[in-house]
Each structure stands twice: as structure tokens, then as C-alpha cells.
Amino acid sequence: MLNESFSSSVVVGTRILGTITSFPLAQIPSSLKTSFQYGLGVVFLIGFIWGVIKIWSGADKMSKGDADGKMGIVSGIIIAGAGAIMGALFFIFGMGDGALTPQF
């Protein structure tokens, strides 16, 4: 009796879990994907402007003889190119379909 109830609950649990995990991700509305792409475009624009400002401030610090200017330039390059760097990493590791293309 105990084995019968346990095995039937396992079958029911497997059926429920099987249906939950079988939902395709393609059912995400395209308007949501487009909204994320526009939001990503805004973030990239802000990051690019912020990175350029960091590069300028790092160059200014270097011209004044401050040793922290080099790190300001490096961090500005990383901030300004973060989108391209992440897109390249996604492509290199075979997850190119997971990267969204920003829209402006």
C-alpha cells in the first residue's frame, strides 16, 4: 500500500515537473524583448559617456603627475566598452543567442 501511493505520487510529481520545465522561452512577448533592448541601449549610451569622462579625467590626472591617472584611463576604457566586451565573451563561449542587441 505504501509503495503504491509513493510510486503514484512520484509519477504525478514527475508529470507536473515535466510540464513546468517544458515551457519554451519563445513565449516571451516580443514587446518585452524590445523593451529590454531599448533599456540596454540607454545603459550603453550612459556607460559610454561615463567611460569617456573617466578617460578624460585620468588623462588630466596623468598630466598633473598623479599615478592614479593610469587606472582612471583603464577603468574608463572598460566602462565605455563594457557592452562590446560582454557581447564578445558571449560569442566566444557559444552563448551568442543569449546576448540582446541594444536599440537606440
Q: Which of 30, 72, 31 is nearest to 53 (CA)?
A: 72
pLDDT tens track, the chain, 104 positions: 555 554 444 555 555 555 555 455 556 677 777 888 888 888 888 888 999 999 999 999 989 888 888 898 999 999 888 888 887 888 888 776 666 777 77
Q: Report the candidate in 46, 52, 18, 43 with the shortest Cα–Cα distance to residue 100.
A: 43
**Where in the chain are the domains?**
28-98
pTM over 0.75: no
The angle formed by the CA atoms of residues 30, 36 and 38, to the nearest 5 degrees, is: 105
* CB contact at 8 A, 89 and 77: no
